[in-house]
Amino acid sequence: MSPLRRAVLWYLFLAVTAPAFAAIPGILKVRIFDAAHQNLVPARVNVIGSDNAFYEPDPSKNPLSEYSLKHKGNRANVGPLRYYGSFFYTDGSFEVKLPPGPARIEGRKGYGYYVSLGEVEIPAGRTTNFDLVMQRVIDMPRYGWHSMDTHLHFDRGEAETDRRIAQLLAAEDVELGHILAAHSSKGFGMASIHTESIYSMISGRETTIPALGHVNLLMIDDLIPAIRNSPPGPSVPLAAIYDQALAVKGAMQHDHGGYGQEIYADAVLGKSDLVELLQFGLYRPEIGLDGYYLLLNSGFRYPLGGGSDYPVCRTMSDSIVYVADGARPSFPTAMGRLLKGEAFATSGPLLFLSVDGKGPGSDIEYAGSAPRDVNVQVRAVSGDLPFNTLEIVQNGKVVAEWHGAKAAVRRELKARLRLNASSWIAARCSGPNTIHAHTDPVWVYFNGVAPFQADAAKELLKRIQEFEDSKISPEAKKIAESARNKVEQMLRADDYPPRPSTTYAQRFPISPSNAILFPPVVARPKALAPATIEGMVYASSGRPLAGAAVSVRGIDPPVRTDAAGRFVLRGVDANQPLFRRVTKAGYATTNTQYLNPRSHNLRILVLTDAELKSVMEAWPRSKPDASSQAIVLLNSVDAGGKPIAGLHLSASPAGTTHFGYLDKDGGFSGASSISSQTGPVQIVGVTEINYQPAYPPQSNDHEPNVIVTANPAGKDIVAPTFTGQVTYAVIFENQ
């Protein structure tokens, strides 16, 4: 870029943006209330200023600051793949310094609540008060459904830590938290319970044996011998650990969809209570849905669960389970119902199932061989994570379904099924942004025999044999041999296997649940008014770009820029996370950072295809192939209108993200500008996007939440990045 072109671009950029960083900031004080506007409640919050940057309170004034997204979680290479912004947690009130102009507040509180949105004008140099109200989608506790995360990692060595964990549970609306603690000052199991309001926690322990798997030990009152002094050695099979947990009336969950393959043998032998199938917004691929269905179709009752593995995940409790524990929940009864299968796992929607008036985990008994008709009803409801598929599944096959060209937040499905033999029936739904939910089955037994498919049992036998033949200890091989013998006996038998026995009732006695199968939905809060968005598009030469297509989120119908590069988007939905996309033949598809819908006239710079290719090839450690890479451009401006000197950049990355930083002269180390080290628009990152494989398969080309933290400016930008595309972002030092 020539000095003249650079000067023209810089002048044009400052002509529009200078007012945005010239004024002194204001103070925003926020209180977050329950629906009755009586009590302050913890929540997860994004605050977006008029400059499109994300802000959070002074860490010294927020005891939950260490759990903000850029400090905990946001693990690279895993889902859920969706917008999170750059959130912080609050105990219910906070204050934050913001630039003058329109500000946006987003409050979230788990999957049982609607997103609460607020907009407020921030005057320069003044304090503004604002109240945000959180509204439930369904009052799940009132109608007998209770949220649980069986996979949370915290150290419970101090009493103050329990207080903070309880606030985090409340912020994500997780009533029952199983804390897998290396240190727990109150011990383990029910002796360790800590309760605040409706939110409680107890301590358990996770243990790992290479090649065999990871398991969570839940509801144990003391550390069992296998883990009392040190992690178990490789010769200890997980089935032996289950026996020890059973002896102390605890429970054992296979984590991460299994890991290793002892899970199949343990499930066959009844030495595993449930599987953490839904995690990171997907069905974990060690067994996945196909392996899980193999077990069910071979006649084994094996409840499914959902857990987040926080903080080794995206966000706390981004995959959880709801248990039908009725009006008076407790850890023992909720665990009993979870092991019975009276539950559904979700990474978003609330999913309900009825078969002839009975919910998940229920049994329906028939005598004789005459065909029977059953009525199945399914309902899915979501606050703000739409889904586009809702299905009824019988013995692993979809027997009724709805698929929508447009995603929905509420849908019902009914079917009348004719059954000729024992069966299991479940519901599942899915949608964009790695949204899934799956119920446990309702079990239908003819003459007391289990559902059984010989082909499924043969495939299950094959997987157990593969485990037996792998490099495992002699003790583990004995477990595999016992499971293999059992499945072989089932295949040799002349009749279907009997209904399997269970052990949960002896450990966790329960009475019939009084949870409501289809609880009423609360009306959606009033939506924000549509926004009108204006801006200009420029090429790297500094000239306006005419004829470029500009859209919202790359989905809404685009408008074309005029001869001066201007565009106007009208009627934009301000209730959804917002970024703009620019496309034009010969130019790289370019996305903006996430924006405040009420912000003004952001200019967008786009590269030619040749410039994008040059950047990809020149970047250190990058590959010429852009099929798995995206780049981030940053325009940084200080109060004097110059690139911010000494601005250190860090990222919460998508895959492997390489970021540079500005030196004291405004140049970059480990990065570059479009054509030189002195240009105002800097290339600050080449990110490789490569996610863990999802089940079912999905497109993994989108990282919606790369956070670039700017210091000393003290603010974040959040960049949606796509493979083979560019994200252009602007950050101002205006405080």
pLDDT, tens digit (0-9, with 9 covering 90-100), for 144-193: 999 999 999 999 988 889 999 999 999 999 999 999 998 899 999 999 99
Whole-angstrom distance, CA of residue 187 vs CA of residue 173:
25
Contacts of 332 (CB under 8 A, 6+ apart): 190, 219, 508, 509
Q: According to the 3-state scheme, what is the secondary structure of 588-641?
A: CCEEECCCCCCCCCEEEEECEHHHHHHHHHHCCCCCCCCCCEEEEEEEEECCCC
- Please name every residue paired with 534 in a beta bridge, in sequence order, or none if there are none: 568
- Taking the C-alpha atoms of residue 409 and residue 566, their distance in angstroms, rounded to an integer, is 35
The CATH number linked to 542 is 2.60.40.1120
586-623 as b/e: b if 16+ CB within 10 A: ebbbbbbbbbbbbbbebbbbbbeeebbeebbeebeebe
**Which helix (H) or strand (E) covers residue 150, if one does?**
strand 146-152
pLDDT at res. 3 = 39
pLDDT-derived band at 596 (thresholds 50, 70, 90) equals very high
| Residue 89: inside a domain | no
Phi and psi angles of residue 9, each rounded to the nearest 5 degrees, phi first: -60, -45
Proportion of the chain above pLDDT 70, given as a percent = 86
Task: Please name the residue ranges forming H helices in 60-184.
Answer: 159-171
Query: Do the beta carbons of residue 635 and residue 684 sit within 8 Å?
Result: no
Percent of the chain past pLDDT 90, that is, above it, reads 68
Report residue 370 CA to chain centroid gap: 45
Which helix (H) or strand (E) covers residue 482, if one does?
A: helix 474-492
Pair 694, 563 in one domain: yes
Residue 670 has pLDDT above 60, yes or no: no
Is the domain of 278 the same as that of 398? yes
> Crossing angle, helix 454-469 and helix 288-297, to 10 degrees?
120
**Residue bearing the bigger pLDDT, 294 or 672:** 294
Would residue 609 count as lying in a domain?
Answer: yes
Query: What is residue 291's predicted lDDT score, i.e. its pLDDT?
Result: 95
* Domain boundaries, position 627: 3-17+527-732
Q: Which of 456, 478, 507 is the last residue of a domain?
A: 507
Q: Is residue 599 part of a domain?
A: yes
Q: Tell me the per-residue pLDDT of 392-427, one tens digit each, with 9 for 90 and over.
A: 999 999 999 999 988 899 999 999 999 999 999 999
Which has the closest alpha carbon to 724: 587, 597, 573? 587
- Whether residue 135 lies inside any domain: the answer is no
76-94 CB burial, b ≥16 within 10 A, e <16: bbbbbbbbbbbbbbbbbeb
d(CA 387, CA 305): 20
- pTM (two decimals): 0.93
Q: How far apart are CA 291 and CA 180, in angstroms?
A: 26
In a domain, 48, yes or no: no
Q: Give the residue carrying structure tokens 């010969």.
A: 586
Q: What is the pLDDT of residues 98-123, one digit of tens each?
A: 999 999 999 999 999 999 999 999 99
Those residues whose C-beta lies under 8 Å from the C-beta of residue 617, and which sit 6 or more positions away, are: 624
Domain membership of residue 484 (yes or no) is yes
702 occurs within a structural domain: yes
DSSP alpha helices (H): ranges in 622-713? none
What is the per-residue pLDDT for 566?
A: 96
Question: What is the DSSP pairing of strand 397-408 with strand 387-394?
Answer: antiparallel
Q: Which long-range contacts (CB under 8 A, 24 or more apart) does 408-411 make?
A: 409/381, 409/382, 409/383, 409/384, 409/385, 410/379, 410/380, 410/381, 410/382, 410/521, 411/379, 411/380, 411/387
Q: Are residues 256 and 154 in the same domain?
A: yes
Both 373 and 484 in a single domain?
yes
Report helix, strand or coil for 269.
coil
- The Cα 289–Cα 245 span in angstroms is 27
Q: Give the C-alpha separation, 309 to 154, whole Å.
A: 10
Please indicate, yes or no, if residue 724 is contained in any of the structural domains. Answer: yes
**Distance (Å, rounded) from C-alpha 291 to C-alpha 64?**
40
What tokens does 717 get?
Answer: 């930008």
Residues 391 and 537 both lie in one domain: no
Q: Are residues 484 and 542 in the same domain?
A: no
Find out whether 716 and 710 touch, Cβ atoms under 8 Å.
yes
Give the model's pLDDT for residue 245: 95
* Domain total of the chain: 2
Q: How many residues does the chain have?
A: 735
- Phi/psi of residue 116, nearest 5 degrees: -105, 125
Element (H, E) at 668: strand 668-669
If one compares 706 and 31, the residue with the highest pLDDT of the two is: 31
- Among residues 507, 537, 553, which one ends one of the domains? 507
Q: Kindly state whether residues 585 and 689 are assigned to the same domain.
A: yes
Q: How far apart are CA 114 and CA 136, in angstroms?
A: 6
Distance separating alpha carbons of residues 18 and 359, to the nearest angstrom: 60
Instruction: Assess whether 502 and 356 both reside in one domain.
Output: yes
Nearby residues of 306 by Cβ (< 8 Å), 6 or more positions away: 149, 276, 277, 278, 279, 319, 320, 321, 345, 346, 347
User: In the structure, how many helices (H) and strands (E) does the chain have?
Assistant: 10, 45
Q: Which of 478, 507, 536 is the last residue of a domain?
A: 507
Residues 701 and 656 in one domain: yes
Give 682's pLDDT tier (boundaries 50, 70, 90).
low
| Confidence at 21, pLDDT banded by 50, 70, 90 | very low
pLDDT in tens, 302-338: 999 999 999 999 899 999 999 999 999 999 999 999 9
Do 369 and 229 lie in one domain? The reply is yes
Residue 46 has pLDDT above 80, yes or no: yes
Tokens of residue 334, six digits: 């909720």
Phi-psi region of 244 (alpha: psi -120 to 50; beta: other; left: phi over 0): alpha
pLDDT tier at 77 (50, 70, 90 boundaries)?
confident
Contacts of 117 (CB under 8 A, 6+ apart): 104, 105, 106, 107, 528, 574, 575
Q: Which sign does the torsion angle of CA 99, 687, 574, 565 carry?
A: positive
Q: For residues 30 and 132, is the Cβ–Cβ distance under 8 A? A: yes
- pLDDT for res 35: 95
Cα separation, 324 vs 327, in Å, equals: 9
4: helix, strand or coil: helix
How sure is the predictor about 33, in pLDDT bands with cuts at 50, 70 and 90?
very high
How far apart CA 143 and CA 513 sit, in angstroms, is 11
User: Kindly report the CA angle at 83 between 78 and 84, in degrees rounded to 5?
Assistant: 85
Same domain (yes/no): 372, 491: yes
Residue 434 sits in the same domain as residue 546: no
